[in-house]
Structure 1
Amino acid sequence: MDVLGALDVRHGPGDGPVAFGGSLGALGPGGLLAAYRRGLFPLPAADVYASAYNEAVYGDDVEAGEVALLPGGADPYALAWWSPDPRPVIAPDGVRLGSRLARRLRNRSTWWTSADRAFGRVLAACAEGRQPAWLTEELAAVLVRLHELGAAHSGEVWEGEELIGGVFGIAVGPVLSLDSMFHRRPDAARVAVADLGARFGAAGGRLLDAQWDGPHVRSLGAEPMARSRYLAELSGGSGDSAVVPDGAPLPAARLGESARLR
């Protein structure tokens, strides 16, 4: 059963969850991908305390009908669904590196990049030490399956054979919704976003979705887009076909040549 099918995110809260409930295990990769197509993304509670916090903060909104409560799942408040309004978005070729990083990449970087070479390792690194621990084992399992089906993608930054940065997200038609990133060297996550964005754009993608607004994503070049327009962008592709970035190894130095500096 498609528990998200009747959910109309256009009128849901823009600064809080639009729904609680459902089960990622029951939804599976197809159901999760359908959620992204509707402009939703999941935020599982890390534990029972986080679930209780959700109920304490948003329970009155659920009772008032302002936030939907979906069937399924032993604890409805263990899974929140978000659709922020506005949405921070970046053009695939618009990721801002900054002049210092661009110069470093051009002049002396030995870093190289790839896509979809180490999805599982990127996923694990993004989950490592994060609080709140939203990237649960159940969500990770569904994301890995989505990757195997060609809808979830990772961008990797390497120093020799060491993975030093990465990002992953879900491709929905012409939009790549970026879920999380990590770095083990300064600026490696920024390079990962710029590289995966460039690959996505070269394959026909039109938009990177940064999901959560804030100073960091603004520094990457994100600009707010009204949810109504974002939903229109999601439906602007050709059917259910996702854009698939090329994953070939490439020198990171090339990004410094065409960097957006400001």
Structure 2
Amino acid sequence: MRLVQLSRHSIAFPSPEGALREPNGLLALGGDLSPARLLMAYQRGIFPWFSPGDPILWWSPDPRAVLFPEAFHLSRSMKRFHRQSPYSVTLNYAFDRVIEGCAEDRSDGTWITPEVVVAWQRLHELGHAHSIEVWREKELVGGMYGVAQGALFCGESMFSRQENSSKTALLVFCDYFAQQGGKLIDCQVLNAHTASLGAIEISRRSYLAYLDEMRQIPLSGACWVPKTLFNSLR
């Protein structure tokens, strides 16, 4: 197994099965963040992740972290909080502001560079990338964004500025996505936060099988139309 250098003149990717074991799932480097290449990557179970100043790195980890929407873990404390939630949640109202929120500097840095922001804004404009926004009155306090692949949603990043705001985004989205026929949310690599919310690890082979099946399942044409998903005042 070796790291593959991508060409700027072709959007083809090597097989995800050829990804390096260590670091977990590193498959290729180079290329660009054009919409065509990004969509090809997601269709093959591959995603970009790299540090500012480094070449673009492409990954397909094994195991893969996923969340079945109906398996979202709603803790007692979160259930109480949501019952009296101060938040409202919308879909595709403020994609630019959500990705900028996810890109804000954190103690561990961020991979969402201006180049990445522009690339995902283009995907959003083309109808492939979507955002979930959490508001407290008129203030954006949390959210998440990702790429749709039929009945599978590839989650990219989330942010939280107030208590439980990112959890609220995922909770409300899981319920809405399942109602629309959504089957699976890709969380990429498991961490303590996503594990506490119900995410599990499956093999790369299983993930790719789910992806091949689910990206062929169309959701309602109105699924991604901007709308209010949850209103704390109602």
For Structure 1 versus Structure 2, the TM-score category normalised by the shorter chain is 0.7 to 0.9
Task: Write the mapping of 1:102-251 to structure 2, written as runs, cut at 5 A.
Answer: 102-106=79-83, 108-130=84-106, 131-237=108-214, 239=216, 241=218, 244-245=223-224, 247-251=226-230
- The structural deviation recorded for 1:4 is 4.6
Which secondary structure does the structure 2 equivalent of 1:133 belong to?
A: coil
The CA distance in 1 between the partners of 2:214 and 2:104, in whole Å, is 34
- The structural deviation recorded for 1:109 is 1.9
Deviation per residue, 1:111-130 (Å, 9 max, x gap): 11111111100000000013
What TM-score does the superposition give when structure 2 sets the normalisation length? 0.86
Give aligned-pair identity as a percent: 36
Which secondary structure does the structure 2 equivalent of 1:44 belong to?
A: coil
1:69 counterpart residue number: none
- The structural deviation recorded for 1:146 is 0.8
Q: Which amino acid aligns with 1:18?
A: L
What TM-score does the superposition give when structure 1 sets the normalisation length? 0.78
Which secondary structure does the structure 2 equivalent of 1:93 belong to?
A: helix
Over 3 Å counting, the alpha-carbon distance change for 1:240 and 1:35 in structure 2 is: farther
Structure 2: 5+ residue stretches without partners: 1-7
Task: Write the mapping of 1:27-176 to structure 2, written as runs, cut at 5 A.
Answer: 28-47=34-53, 51=54, 78-106=55-83, 108-130=84-106, 131-176=108-153
Structure with more of its chain in helix, by fraction: 1
Over 3 Å counting, the alpha-carbon distance change for 1:84 and 1:6 in structure 2 is: closer
Q: How many residues align?
A: 221
- The structural deviation recorded for 1:85 is 0.7
The CA distance in 2 between the partners of 1:242 and 1:29, in whole Å, is 21
8 Å CA contact retained: 1:152, 1:171: yes
Deviation per residue, 1:69-111 (Å, 9 max, x gap): xxxxxxxxx11001111111111232223111111221x2231
The CA distance in 2 between the partners of 1:135 and 1:111, in whole Å, is 26
Of the three residues 4, 16, 34, the one matched with 1:9 is: 16
Over 3 Å counting, the alpha-carbon distance change for 1:238 and 1:125 in structure 2 is: closer
Structure 1: 5+ residue stretches without partners: 52-77, 255-262
Cα RMSD after superposing both structures: 2.1
The CA distance in 2 between the partners of 1:148 and 1:240, in whole Å, is 22
4+ long deviations beyond 6 Å: none
